[in-house]
Chains A and B, each alone.
Chain A
Amino acid sequence: MRAFTYERPVDLAAALVAIGQPGARFLAGGTNLLDLMKVEAETPQHLVDVSRLPLDQISEENGGLRIGAMVTNTALAGDSHVREHYPVLARAVLNGASAQLRNQATTGGNLLQRTRCYYFYDPSTPCNKRAPGSGCSALQGYNRIHAILGASDACIAVHPSDMAVAMMALDAEVEVEAPHSHRRIKIADFHRLPGNTPQNDTILGAGELITAVILPPPPPGGQVYRKVRDRASYDFALVSVAAVVETDGERIRSARIALGGVAHKPWRALEAERQLAGVPLSDDALAAAGETAVKGAQGHGHNDFKIPLAARTVASALAEAAKQRKA
């Protein structure tokens, strides 16, 4: 690990000033940043520890929910309001990492975690995300866990979060602070596709700190998070789907579909959602929506299996969500 200086500012204002130092990074739970520092894929010169800032509350706001950036994954999934009204989010969080990591990892940090692409983690290999311009080792390398949607010639990494996939389906917003600015970013706009600048995972500007995630009122209908992975527990998604389906028992009123493990960002399947609105509920309609969700998908060899897997997982998650229609 490279040497760094460390400070723990007393409040938010001090933290936003401290981050202005050269090579400074915010440290929250640290479950990803410290890991990357150990392999020297990340080499901050200065750590600004924000883990004790008073941003660890969950509160109801305008019929929705305000989740402080320092709320741990465990606290988020254990919150009675989240369990009752946003089960897709609780399920997504509980399907990520291990209990030990969830006890430490934060809501803000989860959004900002980096890809688990093995080449990104290995500084001895080219990687445009870690060392811009050096090339992408995954394109011609081992790419079983990589993207099938929205990738570029510069990067085929995927975003690893489960939590963010559920937030995508829930139309969450990310609240961000800087010394002279305060803004809310729709989560659909927060993460970006790699294009020619895969070093940027999000649209956050230098020195901006996530302070909260805002959930709108819960959507009507059943909510499901379905995760497909190599192990039964404690593994990243090969494909995951957050589905919200509202029916009248015979027809689909509305559907929301977000996918994880398939792209550089949580992927919303808007065309498939539109295709389902108002149609009779049937296996064929759901299967067709699954196919639409992966329209234009491109495999890179080892990950070709993800295309049919994603289509089937979408159909299956939709079917389960449709069955949950509340009386």
Chain B
Amino acid sequence: MTVDVGLTVNGVRHDLKVDSRTTLLDLLREHLGLTGTKKGCDHGQCGACTVLVDGVRKNACMNLAASLDGRGIVTIEGLGTEQALHPMQAAFIEHDGFQCGYCTPGQICSAVGMLSELKRGLPSAVTADLREAAVDMVEAEVRERMSGNICRCAAYPNIVAAILDAGKA
């Protein structure tokens, strides 16, 4: 079965006919040629495919494209350009927050979504007092909140440093 899907990706409207089985991840990579979003596990376990859906971080592999009709997607290609990096991209370079780089687009999109969650005062499993409306951005919070993004090179110390730095801005 084919379904009609209309999506805005990085500010550009796309109207497509796709197989109902098509995930957002496959739509981005195979239909739109946006290969910055990476396929790692394809089961929501690694976070390499993390994108922003209406500003909220999600695993692109765990969404059917059909379900996202009308939504706005931002991928790593939409965050910044080589000439004008997003502050999170700049921080990852500054702190050497990667080794092989495969998980990096997902890490960066996830970190951008995470900072938005922090600003809205959303708690995490390590937030000491759930009644506090504001959450401090400390290393333990960043590590817990980024646990959905696996880095097989284990560049975690520099990833955390980059996010803490970008979060100060």
Residues in A lying within 8 Å of B, measured CB to CB: 1, 3-6, 8, 27, 30-31, 34-35, 38, 47, 49, 51, 74, 77-78, 80, 83-84, 87, 90-91, 94-95, 97-101, 103-104, 231-234
Contacts and interface: CB of A to CB of B under 8 A. Distances in A.
A90 B127 CA distance: 11
A71 to B, nearest CB: 14
A243 to B, nearest CB: 16
Contacts of A78: 120-123
Q: Report whether over half of chain A's contact residues are helix, strand or loop; otherwise say mixed.
A: mixed
Interface stretch (B82-90, B144-152, B161-169): B144-152
Interface in B61-105: 62-64, 66-67, 69
Interface stretch (B6-14, B27-35, B52-60): B52-60
A80 B132 CA distance: 9
A78 B117 CA distance: 10
Nearest to B19: A3
Contact of B147 (A1, A3, A6, A234): A234
Contact of A104 (B58, B110, B133): B58
B64 A100 contact: no
Contacts of B47: 98, 100
Contacts of A5: 1, 20
Contacts of A84: 130-131
Contact of B43 (A35, A80, A100, A231): A35
A47 B148 CA distance: 27
Given A6-B66, A94-B125, A87 B56 contact: no
Contacts of B56: 103
18 contacts: A5-B1, A6-B66, A30-B64, A35-B43, A35-B44, A49-B66, A78-B122, A83-B131, A87-B130, A90-B123, A98-B47, A99-B57, A100-B113, A101-B62, A101-B148, A103-B57, A233-B147, A234-B147
Contacts of B110: 99-100
Contacts of A31: 44, 59, 62
Contact of B44 (A1, A27, A101): A101
A104 B1 contact: no
Contacts of B42: 38
Interface in B109-160: 110, 113-114, 117, 120-125, 127, 130-131, 133, 143-149
A35 B62 contact: yes
A100 B21 contact: no
A98 B144 CA distance: 9
Q: What bracket does the count of chain B residues touching chain A fall in?
A: 35 or more
A38 to B, nearest CB: 7
A99 B144 CA distance: 9
A111 to B, nearest CB: 18
B144 to A, nearest CB: 5
A30 B62 contact: yes
Given A49-B67, A74-B122, A104 B62 contact: yes
B123 A77 contact: yes
Contact of A3 (B20, B131, B143): B20
A30 B65 CA distance: 12
Contact of B125 (A30, A49, A101, A233): A233
A166 to B, nearest CB: 13
A5 B66 CA distance: 11
B64 to A, nearest CB: 6
A34 B45 CA distance: 13
Q: Which 8 A-B pairs have the closest CB atoms?
A: A98-B148, A233-B147, A83-B130, A234-B147, A94-B125, A78-B122, A6-B20, A5-B1
A130 B9 CA distance: 38
Contacts of A97: 148
Contacts of B67: 8, 27, 30, 49, 51
Contact of B21 (A4, A101, A104, A233): A4
Contacts of B125: 91, 94-95, 233
A5 B19 CA distance: 9
B50 interface: yes
Contacts of B19: 3
B115 to A, nearest CB: 12
Among A35, A80, A103, residue most surrounded by chain B Cβ atoms (within 10 Å): A103
